[in-house]
Amino acid sequence: MDPKNISIEDFTYELPDERIALHPLEQRDASKLLVYRNGEISADTFLNIDRYLPENTLLVFNNTKVINARIPFYKAGGARIEIFCLEPSEKVSEYVSVMSQTTSVQWKCFVGGAAKWKDEVIEKHFIIDNIPVVLKATKAGKEGEIFIVGFSWQPVGLSFAAILQGAGSVPLPPYIKRTTDTDDADRYQTIFAEHEGSVAAPTAGLHFTETVFSKLPQKNISKTFVTLHVGAGTFKPVKAATMEGHEMHAEYIDVNIHTIKTLQQNENIAAVGTTSLRTIETLYWLGVKVKLDPALKELSLSQWDVYAPGFLQASISARDALAALISWMENNGQHGIFTKTQLLIVPGYQFRIVKTLITNFHQPQSTLLLLVAAAIGDDWKKMYQYALENDFRFLSYGDGNLINIQS
């Protein structure tokens, strides 16, 4: 079937509100683990995930760090305006410089209570390390439902990362219908979070602990890290009847050449989370692009690129595609890949690198559920029904599953 003709109504299920986890478990690795392998389902806990990974597996994690993206402002009359920072408004070459700005920035944002905000400058006063700080926000433009907001602050010298940390709060997903608490600042981050930029956590990684990591070397299971800065679009429902009418969200990926070489040298690769998987598979297709056209100067991946005639059927192996990408990087003096990916993975997609997916349970009629269906076909229904009947917790703070991808 043409992926554009896939009907989203075929990828729904009944998710009772009480099955959505509103809080994390006290212990990260106590979460339940559903294991799907060749049509068979079993259950355990994340503490024992090493038992279900083959020897010599390479685990790939997303080490993005969630920023305090929700910033509440209050006008003089008491009206509340919430600004949700999504991503920089300008094209960037890497995220570190964006988060390191010390005077002003412009970001794409959602604005709650936008009708109450005319053209005036709004301010927020708060304290960082006993220093009074004033953050100002100004409307600088609009793109559809997205506002371009200019931020400036006094005193200058503080990084934008520090400003967000002091002024904002953890951006819990919209289906977690409660206010944030002190635990969220820690528990809505993986223990290996490093590079600031996400507005949502790579939730499959939330289950991993140092105890779990300590067990992996016994089976020669290694790990490496990629970065995909998760955008709010990950929660965007598919409202169109077919996928042709849905615009896949684009997100920044950042992967160094050493990691790409590591991926090229390993065959049994397990992606921890859909974000890691989309990053790894994007690298394959970027490799295909430069193998077909070594003269390319800029790399990116659009929503329908891989479904173009002759492209999805490319017979280039994972090893050769990554080798071509590495060669292209070396020839162009690049030590890493930083670009946007809009890769949409739906049933009919052939996975090129990833053999195993570790993920959580996803919303009905979401692109993430489509990705799971691409990995195991209609068995996603059997897997989700099992989880519903056996008290698994769903979505970001919920339990997870380990899927052996069908070839």
Q: Roughly what angle, to the nearest 10 degrees, separates helices 257-264 and 318-331?
A: 160
CB atoms within 10 A of CB 201: 28
Cα torsion angle, 149, 150, 154, 155, sign: positive
From first CA to last CA, the distance across the chain in angstroms is 17
φ and ψ at 50, to 5 degrees? -60, -25
Q: Please tell me the predicted confidence (pLDDT) of residue 21.
A: 98
Q: How many CA atoms lie within 13 A of 43 on its CB side?
A: 14
DSSP state for residue 350 in the 8-state scheme:
P
pLDDT tens digits for 69-95? Answer: 999 999 888 899 999 999 999 888 889
Q: Which of 241, 341, 247 is nearest to 289 (CA)?
A: 341
- What tokens does 291 get? 């193998």
pLDDT for residue 312 = 65
Right CATH for 3-65+189-404 from 3.40.1780.10, 3.40.50.300, 1.25.40.20, 1.20.1630.10:
3.40.1780.10
Below-50 pLDDT ranges, the chain:
none
User: What local confidence, expressed as pLDDT, does residue 313 receive?
Assistant: 67
SS3 of 322, please?
helix
| Token pair of 60 as six digits | 């790939």
- Each domain of the chain, given as residue ranges in start order, spans 3-65+189-404, 69-168
pLDDT at 311: 76
The SS3 call for residue 368 is: helix
Query: Which tens digit of pLDDT belongs to each residue from 193-223?
Result: 999 999 999 999 999 999 999 999 999 999 9
**HEC profile for 5-49?**
HCEHHHCCCCCCHHHECCCCCCCHHHCEEEEEECCEEEEEEHHHH
pLDDT of residue 192: 98
What tokens does 387 get?
A: 């989880």
The DSSP line for 250-262 is: PEEEEEEHHHHHH
267: CB partners within 8 A, 6+ apart = 355
**What is the C-alpha separation between 206 and 33, in angstroms, rounded?**
13
- Summarised one tens digit per residue, pLDDT across range 19-61 is 999 999 999 999 999 999 999 999 999 999 999 999 999 999 9
